[in-house]
Amino acid sequence: MIPNVLTIAGVDPSGGAGILADVKAMSALGGYGCAIVAALTAQNTQAVTHIHPVPAAFIGAQIDTLFDDVTIHATKIGMLGQAPVIREVADKLAQRQLPHLVLDPVMVAKSGDMLLETSAVGQLREGLLPLATMVTPNLPEAGVILETGAAENVKQMRRHAEQLRERMNHDGQRWVFLKGGHLPGNETTDLLHDGDVMLELPGQRINTRNTHGTGCTLSAALATLLARGFAPEDAAKQAKAYLTDAIASANELQVGQGHGPVNHFHALWKTTSTMNL
């Protein structure tokens, strides 16, 4: 069975991040992608020039209408932007049976532009984090959620992963996937923590500026693999491997003048490039 995987996030017209990137990753990994638009942006590979919020009530209507008809096997949450939107999404999803909810606490774009209002951080912390079965912050995002500075080494990352897990619901399996891409040096160690086991996922930095949407892509990949029945540990390893290959192939794309997107379909396009079309 092909699982139905939902993204609730913003729209990036350049296709590198947000729901367009999510649906690409879901499709590449064997899921059927569904999307609820939570924010509109005027954005390219260099900057976010405008953000147009979607009314919270309309987002709620999208959620109700979709769930009333389509069985969703996993949900990924990305950019929500505002506190009323976070409250609406949290209230609606709390009423549904969600086998997997992957929360990517999107706060800042690759260009450095803010995507989450400061006043909304508390609502994300209190409203959405307890619902998540897996949360995927980078180091600055984890620092904001915990109201500390960003971790600067793996030892500090371990402590932050433990603190994040303590803030999540203790009922059932809950995981923290703490991304180490902001660590200094060439190593990009991620951590996966369930409250007991702390798994290190090592990696090496790839020499490219085309890393727009990496967080969106990883969380969408995790949601898809969990929906397909992979154990969290295996889903984490495979999602990281998929993203690593997508970054390594990113220079094959020519999209924009700034931080370009990763190559979501690197495996498929390698196959189709050898076909006589």
Residues 6+ apart with CB under 8 A from 60: 88, 89, 91, 92
Give CA–CA dist 52/40, Å, rounded: 5
Which member of 81, 180, 215, 260 is catalytic? 215
Residue 126 has what DSSP assignment? I
In three-state secondary structure terms, 58 is: helix
DSSP H helices in 102-190:
121-123, 139-146, 154-167
Is 7 considered catalytic here? no
| 96 phi, psi to nearest 5 deg | -110, 155
Residue 128 has what DSSP assignment? I
| 191 phi, psi to nearest 5 deg | -125, 140
Query: What tokens appear for 6 in the block?
Result: 């939902």
Chain position carrying tokens 């774009």: 109
Is 216 considered catalytic here? yes
Residue 30 has what DSSP assignment? T
Which member of 15, 33, 213, 260 is catalytic? 213
Give CA–CA dist 264/224, Å, rounded: 14
In three-state secondary structure terms, 90 is: helix
Is 211 considered catalytic here? yes
Q: Which of 95, 142, 139 is nearest to 121 (CA)?
A: 142
Which member of 188, 214, 217, 224 is catalytic? 214
Which member of 76, 92, 110, 179 is catalytic? 179
Is 179 considered catalytic here? yes
Which member of 16, 127, 216, 217 is catalytic? 216
Which member of 7, 133, 188, 211 is catalytic? 211
Q: Which of 154, 157, 136 is nearest to 235 (CA)?
A: 136
Question: What is the set of active-site residues?
Answer: 179, 211, 213-216
